[in-house]
A = this chain, B = another copy of it.
Amino acid sequence: MNIGHLRHLVATAIMIVATAASTPAHAADPLPSWNDGPTKQAIVAFVEKVTKEGLPGFVPVAERIATFDNDGTLWCEHPVVQLVFAIDRLKVLVDKQPQLREKPAVAAALTGNMAYFEKEGEHAIAEIVFLTHTGMTVGDFHELAAKFFKTAKHPKYGVLLKEATYLPMRELLAYLRDNGFKTYICSGGGIEFMRAVSQEIYGIPPEQVIGSAGVLDFQDKDGKAVLLKTPKLLTYNDKQGKPAGIELHIGRVPIFAAGNVRTGGDIAMLGYSQSSKHPSLQLLVNHDDGDREFAYAEKDGASLKAAKEHGWAVVNIKDDWKEIFSFKR
Contact = CB atoms under 8 A, between A and B. Distances in A.
A311 to B, nearest CB: 14
Contacts of A249: 207, 249
B225 A268 contact: yes
Interface string A224-252: 11110000001100001101100111111
Describe A's contact surface by its main secondary structure: helix
A125 interface: no
Contact of A20 (B1, B209, B225, B250): B1
B17 A21 contact: no
Number of copies of this kind of chain in the complex: 2
13 contacts: A2-B27, A3-B27, A9-B20, A13-B16, A62-B199, A62-B205, A182-B207, A209-B251, A216-B244, A218-B244, A224-B275, A226-B275, A234-B248
Nearest to A206: B251
Interface in A261-278: 268, 271-272, 274-275
B191 A248 contact: yes
Contacts of A252: 206-207
Interface in A41-63: 62
A138 interface: yes
A59 to B, nearest CB: 15
A205 B252 CA distance: 10
B227 A243 contact: yes
A213 interface: yes
A272 B225 CA distance: 5
A207 B244 contact: no
A6 interface: yes
A21 B28 contact: no
Interface string A2-37: 110011011001101110110000111010000000
A94 interface: no
A170 B267 CA distance: 41
